[in-house]
């Protein structure tokens, strides 16, 4: 889509775009080039000065040979799919209910959006308390039998906790988009089908869900990307489990940051970063192709 009426000047657009251009060059592209550089090179031995050593794919080989890396990958996959599924499922049920526009449903809608306003670390802190083994909501199960629930001790419990945090926070976001998607379905379609004798459930299954499919797909890709590489995952893990216990919640984003800053393994972290960037590119490409196609349908 292009504008017919445009201004002619070669230096004005450059001038207007310059501030943002400089910022992304400094804070996105230069760091990205460094990541690329680090991923294929090593610091000179003994911290000596001089050129970095080009080592080809050695850093990648080291990363891929590490069984802990693959554990982190599978943890991330598990986390991403479960959290996305849970969050989207709940948000979808709520959105369908609210969209029936019964009396008072706008009040429900008002509250359902709230979780999106809460920062991931704050969600993490709050749920850490709510699901704490010694106090809070769930602690009561430990009075029946000790350590029935203890995310500080059992990896699987910690993973459940992190998934719940992420899913809860993203209910708000998913809900916003699903209600927007449902609202854009023409009411006349629903009315026509009810004239033909279909009930609300049939309408939901045969009209609302198929027409919402583009939105659902968009949300699916977005949720997966966010849970895989998003800042929320980092914030939640950092405030609840710090990757533990025994690295049971050491998801890829958390691992990269902690490896680089605590382990000071820049080259290894950079190689892992490149793998993640590749994954994001795949996700974004799918998203973009899909969005383009939908524009054509309109």
Partner 1 sequence: MIERTPILNAVTYFIMILGLILILGPFWMIFTASTQSLQEVTAVPFNMTPGGDFLKNVHAAWDRANLGPALLNSLITSLLVMVGKIALAALSAFAIVYFKSPLRHVFFWMVFLTLMLPLEVRVIPTYNIASDVFQPVRWIIQTITGIELSLQWNLLNSYSGLVLPLIATATGTFLYRQFYMTLPDELAEAAKMDGARPLRFFIDILLPLSRTNMLALATIMFVYAWNQYLWPKLMTTDASYQTAMVAMRALVPSVNALPEWNVSMAGALIIMLPPLVVVAVLQRWFVRGLVSTEK
Cβ neighbours of residue 66 closer than 8 Å, sequence gap 6 or more:
none
Q: What are the φ and ψ backbone dihedral angles of 10, each rounded to 5 degrees? A: -95, -25
Residue 71 CB, shortest distance to partner 1, in Å, is 19
Interaction between residue 298 and partner 1 (CB under 8 A): no
Residue whose CB is less far from partner 1, 23 or 213: 23
DSSP per-residue string spanning 80-130: HHHHHHHHHHHHHHHHHHHHT--TTHHHHHHHHTGGGGS-HHHHHHHHHHH
Do 175 and 113 meet the contact criterion of CB atoms below 8 Å apart? yes
Residues 69 to 88: which contact partner 1 by CB under 8 A?
A: none
Helices (H), 131-251: 141-144, 155-183, 187-195, 200-203, 209-229, 231-240
Choice from 237, 277, 296, 297 touching partner 1 (CB under 8 A): 277
- Three-state DSSP class for residue 252: helix
Binding part of the chain for partner 1, among 2-10, 50-58, 69-77, 81-89 by CB under 8 A, reads 2-10
Residue whose CB is less far from partner 1, 40 or 112: 112
Choice from 52, 68, 135, 156 touching partner 1 (CB under 8 A): 135
Interaction between residue 110 and partner 1 (CB under 8 A): yes
- Three-state DSSP class for residue 42: strand
Residue 169 CB, shortest distance to partner 1, in Å, is 10
Q: How far apart are CA 234 and CA 227, in angstroms?
A: 9
Residue whose CB is less far from partner 1, 57 or 114: 114
Interaction between residue 156 and partner 1 (CB under 8 A): no
Residue whose CB is less far from partner 1, 54 or 89: 89
The separation between CA 33 and the C-alpha centre of its own chain, rounded to angstroms, equals: 24
Interaction between residue 125 and partner 1 (CB under 8 A): yes
Residues 183 to 242: which contact partner 1 by CB under 8 A?
A: 187, 190-191, 194, 199-201, 218, 222, 229-231, 234-235, 238-239
Residue whose CB is less far from partner 1, 12 or 53: 12
């Amino acid at each position: 889509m292009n504008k017919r009426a445009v201004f002619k000047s070669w230096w004005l657009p450059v001038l207007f775009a310059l501030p943002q251009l400089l910022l992304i060059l400094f804070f996105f592209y230069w760091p990205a080039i460094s990541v690329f550089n680090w991923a294929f090179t090593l610091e000179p031995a003994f911290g000596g000065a001089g050129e970095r050593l080009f080592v080809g794919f050695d850093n990648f080989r080291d990363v891929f040979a590490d069984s802990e890396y693959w554990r982190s990958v599978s943890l991330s996959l598990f986390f991403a799919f479960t959290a996305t599924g849970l969050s989207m499922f709940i948000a979808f049920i709520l959105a369908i209910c609210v969209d029936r526009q019964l009396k008072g449903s706008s009040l429900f809608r008002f509250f359902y959006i709230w979780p999106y306003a809460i920062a991931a670390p704050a969600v993490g802190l709050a749920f850490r308390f709510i699901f704490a083994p010694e106090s809070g909501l769930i602690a009561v199960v430990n009075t029946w039998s000790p350590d029935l629930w203890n995310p500080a001790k059992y990896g699987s419990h910690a993973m459940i906790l992190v998934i719940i945090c992420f899913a809860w926070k993203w209910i708000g976001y998913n809900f916003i988009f699903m209600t927007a998607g449902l609202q854009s379905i023409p009411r006349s379609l629903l009315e026509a089908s009810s004239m033909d004798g279909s009930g609300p459930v049939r309408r939901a299954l045969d009209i609302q869900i198929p027409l919402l499919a583009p939105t659902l797909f968009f949300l699916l890709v977005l949720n997966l990307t966010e849970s895989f590489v998003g800042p929320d995952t980092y914030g939640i893990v950092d405030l609840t489990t710090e990757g533990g216990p025994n690295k049971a919640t050491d998801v890829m984003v958390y691992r990269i940051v902690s490896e680089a800053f605590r382990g000071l393994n820049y080259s290894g972290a950079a190689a892992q970063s490149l793998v993640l960037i590749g994954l994001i590119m795949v996700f974004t490409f799918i998203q973009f192709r899909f969005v383009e196609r939908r524009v054509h349908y309109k």
